Amino acid sequence: MLELLVATKNKKKLKEIKEILKPLNLKITFLDDYHNTPHIIENGKTFRENAVKKAIKISHFSRKLTLGEDSGLCVEALGGEPGVYSARFAGKDKSDLKNNLKILRLLEGLPLKKRSAYYACAVALADEEGLIGVVEGRCSGKIAFAPKGHFGFGYDPIFIIPKYKKTFAELGLVIKHRMSHRFRALEKAKKIIQKYIESNK
């Protein structure tokens, strides 16, 4: 069974990736399964740059097929922020709740039609020989007026899917995993991984 090392320590993100990649029958590990993994400074200007950096650095360290992922929320009324700073938008004492509340505070008074946003995700795959491929996915929505729902993580409680008029946190993982930015990027990544498996038989 091929091992895929996911270059993250985020257990919630890992859980989603495992769920979406389940059909490939991979042994999926993550950074906490290894000792002395190199620290990665996420200083890329785009999700793509950060994903590539994670994949290459960790594949060089582990000599295994590695998946680097970076994702976040881009709000049109905020000029695309928080973007690559999504996880740390609220500053030093960041948390999902504080990040969400900061977005809501910045958008205060704006009607729903001016609260357009999208989730973006970049996935990079690399092995010890270098980068294999990079793919991206997006999911468009609106920013709610208050957090709603208990599923998911990150900005899911304030990210409304217009088709359902509910947030990702209200809709739950089954629906989220059929249409999210991460799902769309990983669906493309599946094809790259499948080719890799076949060429390394």
CA 83 to each of CA 9, 65, 70, 112: distance values in angstroms, whole numbers, following the listed order? 20, 27, 10, 20
Closest CA to 142 of 106, 116, 103, 109: 116
Q: Distance between CA 117 and CA 75 in Å, rounded?
A: 4
Q: Domain boundaries in the chain?
A: 3-199
Half-sphere exposure (CA, 13 Å, Cβ side) for 123? 27
Peptide bond into 157 cis (omega under 30): no
The residue-averaged pLDDT of 158-168 equals 97
pTM, whole model, 2 decimals?
0.94
What is the predicted pLDDT for the residue at 92?
87
What is the predicted pLDDT for the residue at 201?
75
The residue-averaged pLDDT of 136-144 equals 98
Q: Distance between CA 117 and CA 141 in Å, rounded?
A: 5
The set of catalytic residues is: 70
CATH class of 3-199: alpha beta
